[in-house]
Amino acid sequence: MDKRVLENTIIEVIKTIYDPEIPVDIYELGLIYDIKIDDDFNAEILMTLTSPSCPVAESLPVEVEEKVGGIEAVQKAKVTMTFEPAWEKDMMSEEAQLELGFM
């Protein structure tokens, strides 16, 4: 499988994961900072949360890792959490901003 195709598949899977407090998926919220796929098809996802005290701080990264790891072409999925740069609502897609009434 081509890495670009796999990255798009990973994004589609991530778009099925929602922040429990906001009715928008975590990709459109801008919580996914980077997706890297190596030559062995291991996926590394750099992500953040809306705040370090987010109630799903423990479960959300695990859910991302499990769902991405469940993609047939992905050998292993690893999620790395960061709070640099800190998440801001400007990081949301236009679609998410419209959905939440910020536009």
Domains of the chain: 3-96 (3.30.300.130)
Per-residue tokens: 77: 């999925």
Asked if residue 103 has pLDDT above 80, the reply is no
Neighbours of 75 (CB within 10 A): 12
Neighbours of 14 (CB within 10 A): 21
CA–CA dist 64, 94 (Å, integer)? 23
Q: Convert the pLDDT of each residue in 20-77 to its tens digit.
A: 878 899 999 999 999 999 999 999 999 999 888 888 888 999 999 999 999 999 999 9
pTM: 0.92
| pLDDT score, position 55 | 82
| pLDDT score, position 56 | 84
